[in-house]
A and B are shown apart, each in its own frame.
Chain A
Amino acid sequence: GAGVSQSPSNKVTEKGKDVELRCDPISGHTALYWYRQSLGQGLEFLIYFQGNSAPDKSGLPSDRFSAERTGGSVSTLTIQRTQQEDSAVYLCASSSRPGRALGEQFFGPGTRLTVL
């Protein structure tokens, strides 16, 4: 079956421009996560969606970052007024059993964002 997909796979943008990154989770997965991996650094949590609940935005690094999940499926991560430090690989993951039910997370291939 189809896994988690992300688009675009690569995005090069100029400083100050807005970008949108898309994630299509595995069908039926109710939990969706965005993570970021900056060059030479580890992975960090950005935001978590679970069903119709309010998202956990505690990992978003600034108010230039926002995300939405429409219809409980596709999610879009938006970065406004991009900065060079936003350059990273943005990874999406989905899970069918969130919360303390300890669901395994399935990762997408990531979007490599380069801000010039």
Chain B
Amino acid sequence: KNEVEQSPQNLTAQEGEFITINCSYSVGISALHWLQQHPGGGIVSLFMLSSGKKKHGRLIATINIQEKHSSLHITASHPRDSAVYICAVIKGETSGSRLTFGEGTQLTVNP
């Protein structure tokens, strides 16, 4: 069983829909990242969370440390949001901030 699991693996939505991607983890963590990977491979860090909620534009990320669960929400989705969204954690016992990754969620937003 992976230490970081995402759901769904694939998600197709219509433009304007509200989207939720979930991440569950089974290890103690010091922080959680949400990353976006566009076709072509470039990875951008969207959020880094250790508690609560963060918002950036149409993106919202939440984390519940007790339940070991995080969600990424996209409001008013747009075709340009189509990408792979990756949840990654910094395990509490590791030195440095090396990331342990989920398998990613492929999001396709149709016009």
Contacts and interface: CB of A to CB of B under 8 A. Distances in A.
Contact of A112 (B35, B41, B50, B88): B41
Interface in B62-76: none
Q: How large is the interface on A (under 10, 10 to 19, 20 to 34, 35 or more residues)?
A: 20 to 34
B96 A48 contact: yes
B100 A102 contact: no
Give chain A's interface secondary structure class.
strand
Contacts of A42: 86, 101-104
Interface stretch (A16-24, A65-73, A76-84, A93-101): A93-101
Nearest to A59: B98
A44 interface: yes
Choose among A42, A45, A104, A110 the residue with the greatest number of B CB atoms under 10 Å from its CB. Answer: A42
Given A102-B50, A102-B90, A107 B97 contact: no
A31 B95 contact: no
18 contacts: A31-B96, A31-B97, A33-B96, A43-B88, A48-B98, A56-B95, A91-B41, A95-B97, A99-B95, A102-B48, A104-B33, A105-B99, A106-B45, A107-B42, A107-B44, A109-B41, A109-B42, A110-B42
Q: 9 tightest CB-CB pairs across the interface, nearest first?
A: A107-B43, A43-B101, A102-B31, A48-B96, A42-B103, A45-B98, A110-B41, A42-B101, A48-B98
Given A33-B99, A48-B96, 20 more contacts: A33-B96, A35-B99, A42-B101, A42-B102, A43-B101, A50-B96, A56-B95, A56-B96, A59-B98, A99-B95, A99-B97, A102-B48, A102-B90, A103-B97, A105-B33, A105-B45, A106-B45, A107-B42, A107-B43, A109-B42
